[in-house]
Amino acid sequence: ITRAIRGNFFDFSQIVGVPSELESQARYIEDGMMFLNSGKIVWLGSREEGERRLAQNLSAVPLDDYRDKLIIPGFVDTHIHYPQTEMIGAYGEQLLEWLSNYTFPTEAQYHDIDYARRMSAFFIEQLLNNGTTTALVFGTVHPQSVDALFTAAAALNMRLIAGKVMMDKNAPESVLETPAQSERDTRTLIERWHNHKRLSYALTPRFVPTSSPQLLEKVRAIKADYPDIYLQTHLSENADEISWVKSLYPEHQRYLDVYHHYNLTGSRCIFAHCLHLHEEEWDCLSDTDSSIAFCPTSNLFLGSGLFNLQTSWQKRVRLGIGTDVGAGTTFNMLQTLSEAYKVGQLQKYRLSAFEAFYHATLGGARALHLDDKIGNFDVGKEADMVVLDPSATALQQLRSGNSKTLAERLFVLMTLGDDRNIYRTLVDGKVVYQRAK
Ligand code: GUN
Ligand code: FE
Task: Give the confidence band of 214 by pLDDT, cuts at 50, 70, 90.
Answer: very high
**Dist. CA 110–CA 76, nearest whole Å:** 25
Index of the ligand 1 atom closest to the CA of residue 210: 2
What's the 208 CA to ligand 2 centre distance in angstroms? 13
Question: What integer pLDDT is reported at residue 430 of this predicted model?
Answer: 98
| 86-108 pLDDT per residue, tens | 999 999 999 999 999 999 999 99
Question: What integer pLDDT is reported at residue 57 of this predicted model?
Answer: 84
Q: Which protein residue's CA is at the shortest distance from atom 7 of ligand 1?
A: 327
Index of the ligand 1 atom closest to the CA of residue 295: 9
Determine whether the shortest distance from the Cβ of 103 to ligand 1 is under 6 A: yes
Instruction: Please enumerate in sequence order all residues whose Cβ is within 8 A of that of 91, keeping only pairs 6 or more positions apart, or say none.
Output: none
Determine whether the shortest distance from the Cβ of 298 to ligand 1 is under 6 A: yes
What is the CATH architecture assignment of 3-73+379-434?
A: Roll (2.30)
For the cut 80, the answer to whether the pLDDT of residue 158 exceeds it is yes
For the cut 80, the answer to whether the pLDDT of residue 274 exceeds it is yes
**C-alpha angle with apex 351: 350 to 357, nearest 5 degrees?**
165
| 6-23 pLDDT per residue, tens | 999 999 999 999 999 999
For 350, phi and psi rounded to 5 degrees? Answer: -95, 100
Classify burial at 92, counting beta carbons within 10 Å of its beta carbon; exposed 0-12, middle 13-18, buried 19 or more: exposed
Which ipTM score applies to this complex? 0.99
Classify burial at 413, counting beta carbons within 10 Å of its beta carbon; exposed 0-12, middle 13-18, buried 19 or more: buried
Determine whether the shortest distance from the Cβ of 206 to ligand 1 is under 6 A: yes
Domain extents for the chain? 3-73+379-434, 75-351
H-type alpha helices, 332-403: 333-345, 353-358, 364-367, 394-400
- Best of 237, 255, 258, 336 for a ligand 1 pocket test (most atoms within 8 Å of beta carbon): 237
Topology (CATH level 3) of domain 75-351 = TIM Barrel (3.20.20)
The mean pLDDT of the chain is 98
Task: Give the confidence band of 48 by pLDDT, cuts at 50, 70, 90.
Answer: very high
Question: What integer pLDDT is reported at residue 273 of this predicted model?
Answer: 98
Q: Which protein residue's CA is at the shortest distance from atom 8 of ligand 1?
A: 327
| Across 117-124, average pLDDT | 98
| 236-245 pLDDT per residue, tens | 999 999 999 9
Nearest to 268 by CA among 429, 169, 136, 421: 136
Beta-bridge partner residues of 12 = 26
Question: What integer pLDDT is reported at residue 437 of this predicted model?
Answer: 83
Q: Which ligand approaches the C-alpha of residue 95 most closely? A: 1
Question: What integer pLDDT is reported at residue 58 of this predicted model?
Answer: 74
Question: What integer pLDDT is reported at residue 59 of this predicted model?
Answer: 81
> Cα 47 vs. chain centroid, distance in angstroms?
32
**Dist. CA 88–CA 93, nearest whole Å:** 13
| Across 430-437, average pLDDT | 96
Which is higher by pLDDT, 400 or 181?
181
For 284, phi and psi rounded to 5 degrees? Answer: -65, -45
Determine whether the shortest distance from the Cβ of 271 to ligand 1 is under 6 A: no
Question: What integer pLDDT is reported at residue 338 of this predicted model?
Answer: 98
| 339-397 pLDDT per residue, tens | 999 999 999 999 999 999 999 999 999 999 999 999 999 999 999 999 999 999 999 99
What's the 138 CA to ligand 2 centre distance in angstroms? 8
| 144-157 pLDDT per residue, tens | 999 999 999 999 99
Instruction: Please enumerate in sequence order all residues whose Cβ is within 8 A of that of 151, keeping only pairs 6 or more positions apart, or say none.
Output: 117, 120
Does residue 76 contact residue 374 with C-beta atoms inside 8 Å? yes
Q: Which ligand approaches the C-alpha of residue 299 most closely? A: 1
What's the 110 CA to ligand 1 centre distance in angstroms? 17
Determine whether the shortest distance from the Cβ of 324 to ligand 1 is under 6 A: yes
What's the 380 CA to ligand 1 centre distance in angstroms? 36
Q: Check whether the bond before 320 is cis (ω within 30° of 0).
A: no
Instruction: Please enumerate in sequence order all residues whose Cβ is within 8 A of that of 251, keeping only pairs 6 or more positions apart, or say none.
Output: none
Beta-bridge partner residues of 6 = 33, 65
For the cut 80, the answer to whether the pLDDT of residue 163 exceeds it is yes
For the cut 90, the answer to whether the pLDDT of residue 333 exceeds it is yes
